[in-house]
Amino acid sequence: MARLLLLCVLPWPLFGQPDAREEACSSSKAQEFWAEMRRQGLQLNIQRKMVGGNRTAMVLRDDVFYGRAIMKIPRQALLTLETGRSPKLKEELTRLLFEDKKLQKEFNITSEDHIHLLSLAYTLIAERRNPESVFVDWLNATRNEQVFALQLTHRQQKVLVGTSVEEAVEEMASRRDLIQQAASNLTFFKKKPVSLDEASWALAVIMRHGRVVHPYQDQRDVRDPRMYIFPLRELLEVAMHANPGVAIGFQEEIIIEGKREEDVVLQIARRDMPKGEEIFVWPGRLSSSEMIARHGFSLTENPIGIGRNVTQPPSWTDSKNSKSRKEYDLYNCSTLESFELRFNREGYPMRSFVRCYRISWFIGNGWYSPALKNRMRDLNKWPPPEKYTKSDWLAWTQADAEVNRAIMDYCQYMRQRLKDVCWQEAGQRQQNVYSAQGRAMSSSRCCLLLPQQCSLNFRRLWTPTPRMTSGTQKILLTRFCGRCALKSLARSRTALPWQRRSGCSGQSSRLESCLGSSGPCCMKQLHGAKAEFMVMDPICEETAGHYA
């Protein structure tokens, strides 16, 4: 360490180029910083290990018992506004975002998520520009991060039209532009304004490597969880898991080490965990299609279904201390995310929506009783039983009818959107063909005759492969072409020549556009997984069939 510090003060001609001197100084400061973090209790009880023969995972180095820390990270080792290394930037951001509230007053930016996004983004950009940053190794490892949705071509973006991630590109682009444009309010970036590439990089790092941290135990009623950046190379290799019960979250705690208090972020074992068990992190409440839009890949066995529609109940209030909100908390319906209508692959709504929507109906219609806490199994059950045996059967059947109405309304809306998209695309491509042949397009069905080239490409793309079973082809074909296309293919042996070429719909032409391109939307680059395309398109035909 002393030798490195000596290099920092020596004139650069004595030992080489200025870059070498800067690198030596940066390395010296980084080593000194991380040594101090270890003295303050930095502990990562994880190590690399090959699993499955071809995947590197992070596993426990030693046994960890229930309630003990797997990771203990001092707050100063994290990247947040409070721990930023630039006092000038920290002061300006605090005044802009929280004291003067200029963005809220002049630009109507009131979302807490957007304000937190800006505070993290500018802290990241400042660290990236600092050649002496103590996080230089982590910054170099993340320098090429990109948001997957922002890399799609215009042709590939058309595939998302009519799906639950249709607005993903627009949302990410608006956040990127916000980071770039709001920087003009900071004198810190006056000499060198934030570029579009820097804004894109900062957004990608936050979206992909930000981790949700729960507040201190005594502040959880008044403060929501926040997203922090963990600038540790080891955590870049920790795999994600969609189930929050498997992926252990992080939480802020103040612990006593020796005779001093330490402000740390912990990952605490929820059970006895043996040495060699793999550790996961939670990516957030994202469906498989949302994971693809943000990360470029999806996770198997994702419990978060497709859809993003939030139905706010009439009895809902923003005040957490209200009587109705306290009743909602008893059933784990503490946020509006619980009323988000999402569906799994089989077309069933998530249990949280069914349970919370029923409770909201009971509260809003005067049928609520504290005894409902003893009927959690009935509250979660969907489809409902054919007959209720309790004395309050009338209230339950009415609540079920209201849940069914909400599901059907959403499914019909999404299905109509897909039909409208199919109508528009097929109409644009086939206007001349249909005019010449005198065949009118039907608005109730999307099974339209497309050019012969589409049909040929369709057969070529869906030729069975050793990795894809016929059942998988059928599911994927249903998702993109609709049931009418399946029926057309089933009738192809006895159909007329022009009917044999009608195995594509407007949806399949979009599929052809996606698979026929060389961009990241291709199935090959999505690792050939079955789940990605099955959830990219939220067709509710199967769902409507369950509850019709």
Model confidence over 251-268: pLDDT tens digits?
999 888 777 888 899 999
- Residue 377 binned pLDDT confidence (cut-offs 50, 70, 90): very high
- pTM score, two decimals? 0.70
Residue 316 has, within 13 A of its CA and on its CB side, a CA count of 19
Asked if residue 279 and residue 299 are part of one domain, the reply reads yes
Residue 366: inside a domain? yes
Which has the closest alpha carbon to 287: 230, 334, 354, 340?
340
Asked if residue 295 and residue 325 are part of one domain, the reply reads no
User: What share of residues in the chain are helix, strand, coil (percent, to 5)?
Assistant: 50, 10, 35
The answer to whether 306 and 289 have CB atoms below 8 angstroms apart is yes
- Residue 423 binned pLDDT confidence (cut-offs 50, 70, 90): low
Q: What are residue 212's DSSP bridge partners?
A: 227
> What pLDDT, on the 0 to 100 scale, is given for residue 537?
33
Alpha carbon of 198 to those of 128, 173, 177: distances in Å?
9, 13, 11
Model confidence over 436-464: pLDDT tens digits?
444 433 333 333 323 332 233 333 333 33
The answer to whether 485 and 447 have CB atoms below 8 angstroms apart is yes
pLDDT at residue 285 above 90?
Answer: no
* Cα(396)–Cα(398) distance, integer angstroms: 5
More confident residue, 224 or 49: 49
Asked if residue 207 and residue 83 are part of one domain, the reply reads yes
pLDDT at residue 103 above 90?
Answer: no
**Domain end residue (candidates: 273, 304, 335):** 304
Asked if residue 272 and residue 361 are part of one domain, the reply reads no
Question: What is the residue range of 26's domain?
Answer: 1-39
Asked if residue 241 and residue 190 are part of one domain, the reply reads no
| DSSP 8-state secondary structure symbol assigned to residue 385 | P
Asked if residue 200 and residue 114 are part of one domain, the reply reads yes
Residue 417: inside a domain? no
CATH of the domain at 291: 2.170.270.10
CATH of the domain at 95: 3.90.1410.10
- Residue 294 binned pLDDT confidence (cut-offs 50, 70, 90): confident
Cα 31 vs. chain centroid, distance in angstroms? 34
> What pLDDT, on the 0 to 100 scale, is given for residue 299?
82
Asked if residue 47 and residue 21 are part of one domain, the reply reads no
Exposure string for 323-351, b = 16+ CB within 10 A, e = fewer: ebbebbeebebeeeebbbbbbbeebbbbe
**% of the chain surpassing 90 pLDDT:** 31
β-strands 260-268, 69-74: how paired? antiparallel
With tokens 């990109």, the residue in question is: 146
Q: Token pair of 399, please? A: 């609540």
Asked if residue 398 and residue 372 are part of one domain, the reply reads yes
pLDDT at residue 175 above 90?
Answer: yes
Asked if residue 248 and residue 203 are part of one domain, the reply reads no
> What pLDDT, on the 0 to 100 scale, is given for residue 288?
84
The amino acid sitting at 82 is E
Model confidence over 55-76: pLDDT tens digits?
889 999 999 999 999 999 999 9
> What pLDDT, on the 0 to 100 scale, is given for residue 209?
92
Q: Is 183 exposed, middle or buried (0-12, 13-18, 19+ CB in 10 A)?
A: buried
> What pLDDT, on the 0 to 100 scale, is given for residue 348?
86
| DSSP 8-state secondary structure symbol assigned to residue 16 | S
Asked if residue 487 and residue 458 are part of one domain, the reply reads yes
Alpha carbon of 333 to those of 51, 174, 329, 340: distances in Å?
38, 30, 5, 11
pLDDT at residue 352 above 80?
Answer: yes
Asked if residue 244 and residue 313 are part of one domain, the reply reads no
Asked if residue 145 and residue 267 are part of one domain, the reply reads no
47-51, 199-203, 538-542: range with lowest mean pLDDT: 538-542
Count of structural domains within the chain: 5
Residue 264: inside a domain? yes
Average pLDDT, the chain: 74
Cα 208 vs. chain centroid, distance in angstroms? 9
Residue 426: inside a domain? no
The amino acid sitting at 183 is A
- Residue 222 binned pLDDT confidence (cut-offs 50, 70, 90): confident
Q: What is the phi/psi pair of residue 422, to 5°? A: -60, -45
Residue 427: inside a domain? no
Residue 270: inside a domain? yes
**Domain end residue (candidates: 304, 319, 338):** 304
Question: Which residues have a Cβ under 8 Å from the Cβ of 355 and sit 6 or more positions away?
Answer: 331, 332, 333, 338, 376, 379, 380
- Residue 465 binned pLDDT confidence (cut-offs 50, 70, 90): very low
Phi-psi region of 296 (alpha: psi -120 to 50; beta: other; left: phi over 0): left
Helix axes 112-129, 87-94, angle to 10 degrees: 160
Q: What is the phi/psi pair of residue 10, to 5°? A: -75, 150
Residue 475: inside a domain? yes
Q: What is the phi/psi pair of residue 58, to 5°? A: -105, 120
**Domain end residue (candidates: 364, 390, 412):** 412
Cα 257 vs. chain centroid, distance in angstroms? 36
Residue 433: inside a domain? no
End-to-end alpha carbon distance in the chain: 73
